[in-house]
Amino acid sequence: MAFGYNRVSGSNTIQIVGDLVAGADPQRNTKIDFENDQINFVAGGITVLSITPTLISSSTDISSYGYLKSLNSSGDEGGEILLARSVTNNTLTGSGITIDSYQNRIRFFEQGGSARGAFIDLTECDPGAGTNLLVGGAAGSGDITSVTAGSGLTGGGTSGAVTLSLSSSISVTEISASTYTGLPVNPSVDFFAGQFGDGSDGDLTVVGTYTAAKELYFNNLTIPSGTIFKPNGHRVFVANTLTVESNASFNDDGTDGAAQAGGAALASRNYLVAASGKGGNGVSLTTSNFSNGTVGNSTTNTSANNLGQTVNGGKGGNVTLRGNVGGNGGTASTASGGQKWNGVWQLARWTSGGFNTGAGGGGGAINVVTYTSGIFSSGGGGAGGGAVWISAKNIVNNGRISANGGKGANGILGTGTAECSGGGGGGGGNLTIITKTLSGSLGTVQANGGIGGTGAWNTGTGVGMNGTDGNSGSVCIVVLS
């Protein structure tokens, strides 16, 4: 140390003055250098530590595992914290992490990392432009070449990219499995790989009408022409292909009205619940008489349809020679909090359980003016539709997949003169399909309201005697690319 400098070895080699200890320093290159508003600590002719009123900086290692450089710097060099396995002459030669405050960058170096390794770059924190988080790879394979302010999480290189817009959407193009060990090669394809089930129930070809007794996990499901698959309130998964041939259906349709009888309600069933409203009754007469139709049954905790309408049943038809009217369709009050079937497509449920479905249609009115023989009847209303939830990787549908409301029955004339109105259609049900088949190739997919029945008359005007259609239910189609 230059303090107490002495070139001669011996008893004067070491000098002590207070707390300062000085040894022989023939080269005079180890010293404390007091300058204007600055103190430099020099060792071997190198300034290893510099102190100013606004800056403390170091140019050498703190230990064999890392160094601090220009912390809190306002100069062009910026600040850096380096944690490395090996540092030689201030050069990183092993794997490690650097935090560079000037470039706002966290860098990860590979073993022997003379080339730049992967990095996370915090380029902006401007609330007006958004916050960017950039992820890159080694030089030449994952560099970030250009970034738009607010573009979000971005990665580049020959292996593809990862893009995340913090303000809008997530789109994952590709992640290289060789770089990101343990992750799927293409998460946009593989993330929902288990969505279609494990195929543990094997293959099924339906004969007649098949009614599900549990949640099913088919490998392939085939519904031949003339057959029907009834899910009965259960979800159905198909790991490979669901095939619905022409004149076949996968349905949970509501019950149609029959003569003067309203269609029977679908009871609350299994996982999907899907209880619907019963159709209102019409009237059967074997004498001259007249009567109003019966109101269809209502439902609660029902999803509003895709137009935001409640899934009410249709009104029964009126007669024209008297003041008798058809029964009103039932009403379908929506689930609390405005929850909708198509907002929970992954589960087809909401926080309080399953959704109920459409209300029943009203029964038609009747007026028998003269009776001779036979049975005169006004149509009963159709019941509300049920629920279909299918998750099938591929779908070939030449038939029908539906949760339609039941049809209102037609009016029937006996012998004599009369006005026999039609019943109202039931409200539609709930239907969700999750698949990789494009929506335009899914064929006939419906949750329509039931069609109102047709009035029959041989007196009066016939105006307003047909039952009205029920409102449509909810349809949700999710295509996983």
pLDDT of residue 60: 63
In this structure, are 137 and 13 located in the same domain? Answer: no
pLDDT of residue 23: 73
In this structure, are 270 and 380 located in the same domain? Answer: yes
pLDDT of residue 72: 41
pLDDT of residue 128: 41
DSSP-assigned letter for residue 440: G
In this structure, are 172 and 213 located in the same domain? Answer: no
In this structure, are 323 and 448 located in the same domain? Answer: yes
pLDDT at 286 over 90: yes
Q: Confidence band (pLDDT; 50, 70, 90) for 337?
A: confident
pLDDT of residue 190: 54
Backbone angles phi, psi at 196, to 5 degrees: -100, 10
pLDDT of residue 40: 85
pLDDT at 99 over 80: no
Q: Is the dihedral of CA 80, 81, 84, 87 positive or negative?
A: positive
Q: Tokens 């009103």 identify what position?
A: 328
Mean pLDDT of 291-308: 94
Q: Confidence band (pLDDT; 50, 70, 90) for 93?
A: low
In the listed set 30, 53, 76, which residue is the last one of a domain according to the structure?
Answer: 53
pLDDT of residue 385: 97
pLDDT at 156 over 50: no
pLDDT at 249 over 60: yes
Lowest mean per-residue pLDDT among 142-156, 380-394, 423-437: 142-156
In this structure, are 292 and 324 located in the same domain? Answer: yes
pLDDT at 320 over 70: yes
pLDDT of residue 30: 84
Q: Is 242 left (phi over 0), alpha (psi -120 to 50) or beta?
A: beta
Q: For residues 29 and 438, which has the higher predicted lDDT (pLDDT)? A: 438
pLDDT tens profile 423-467: 999 999 999 999 999 999 999 999 999 999 999 999 999 999 999
In this structure, are 284 and 387 located in the same domain? Answer: yes
Q: How many domains does the chain have?
A: 3
Which stretch, 69-78, 118-127, 164-173, 268-277, has highest mean pLDDT?
A: 268-277
Q: Confidence band (pLDDT; 50, 70, 90) for 15?
A: confident
Task: Provide the percentage of residues in the chain whose pLDDT is more than 90.
Answer: 53
Domain that holds residue 32: 1-53
Query: Over the chain, what is the mean pLDDT?
Result: 78
pLDDT at 140 over 60: no
In this structure, are 164 and 221 located in the same domain? Answer: no
What's the rounded Cα separation, in Å, for the pair 52 and 257?
Answer: 92
Lowest mean per-residue pLDDT among 23-27, 169-173, 200-204, 212-216: 169-173
Q: For residues 280 and 100, which has the higher predicted lDDT (pLDDT)? A: 280
In this structure, are 245 and 132 located in the same domain? Answer: no
Give residues with Cβ within 8 angstroms of 361, minimum separation 6.
Answer: 257, 262, 263, 279, 280, 296, 313, 314, 315, 316, 329, 330, 381, 382, 383, 405, 406, 408, 423, 424, 425, 426, 427, 450, 452, 467, 468, 470
What's the rounded Cα separation, in Å, for the pair 93 and 103?
Answer: 21
pLDDT at 79 over 60: no
What's the rounded Cα separation, in Å, for the pair 257 and 405?
Answer: 11
In the listed set 189, 220, 237, which residue is the last one of a domain according to the structure?
Answer: 189
- DSSP per-residue string spanning 335-404: PGGG--GGG-TTTT-BTTB--B-PPPPPPPPEEEEEEEES-EEPPPPPPPP-EEEEEEEEEEESSEEE-P
Closest CA relative to residue 442, chosen from 399, 478, 395: 395
Q: Confidence band (pLDDT; 50, 70, 90) for 177?
A: very low
Q: Confidence band (pLDDT; 50, 70, 90) for 144?
A: very low
In the listed set 139, 163, 189, which residue is the last one of a domain according to the structure?
Answer: 189
Q: Assess contact for 97 and 67: CB atoms under 8 A.
A: no
DSSP-assigned letter for residue 195: G
Task: For residue 254, give both structure tokens.
Answer: 């509501």
In this structure, are 267 and 200 located in the same domain? Answer: yes
Backbone angles phi, psi at 311, to 5 degrees: -90, 70
Question: Helix, strand, or coil here: 190?
Answer: helix
Lowest mean per-residue pLDDT among 30-44, 56-70, 366-380: 56-70
In this structure, are 84 and 178 located in the same domain? Answer: yes
In this structure, are 180 and 202 located in the same domain? Answer: no
Q: Is the dihedral of CA 295, 300, 304, 308 positive or negative?
A: positive
pLDDT of residue 149: 36
Backbone angles phi, psi at 79, to 5 degrees: -120, 155
Q: Give me Rg for the CA atoms of the chain.
A: 40
In this structure, are 93 and 224 located in the same domain? Answer: no
